[in-house]
Amino acid sequence: MVAANSPGLKDSVSPGKSGLLYQYGNIEELAQQIVRVLSDKPLCQSLSQGALEWANRFTWDDCARRSFAVMEKTFSEWGKHA
């Protein structure tokens, strides 16, 4: 529920809904965010629910559909230049 605000990691969190972000490398801010989540039960419950809802948006079928769409577009563009 706490992730660094850096590429890849920040993309897996919906800030304030499924988790909290901290500035990469800022250990004090990381600790503060962890303590915040652990000491605020309503926040923890809200982030937990939000994380489940966020994760349910990502399915294997959707991933496959998006991957094939990118491949089709790439091959189509490649075919125009071949």
Q: How far apart are CA 35 and CA 16, in angstroms?
A: 15
pLDDT digits (tens), the chain, 82 positions: 899 999 988 888 999 999 999 999 999 999 999 999 999 999 999 999 999 998 888 889 998 999 999 999 998 888 777 6
Prediction pTM value = 0.69
Q: What's the first-to-final CA gap in the chain, in angstroms?
A: 47
Domain boundaries, the chain: 2-81
What is the pLDDT, as a whole number, of residue 82? 63
What is the pLDDT, as a whole number, of residue 5? 96
Query: What's the CATH number for 2-81?
Result: 3.40.50.2000
How many secondary structure helices (H) and strands (E) does the chain include? 3, 2
What are the structure tokens assigned to 82, written together?
Answer: 């071949």
Task: Name the residue among 65, 69, 63, 55 with its Cα closest to residue 17.
Answer: 55
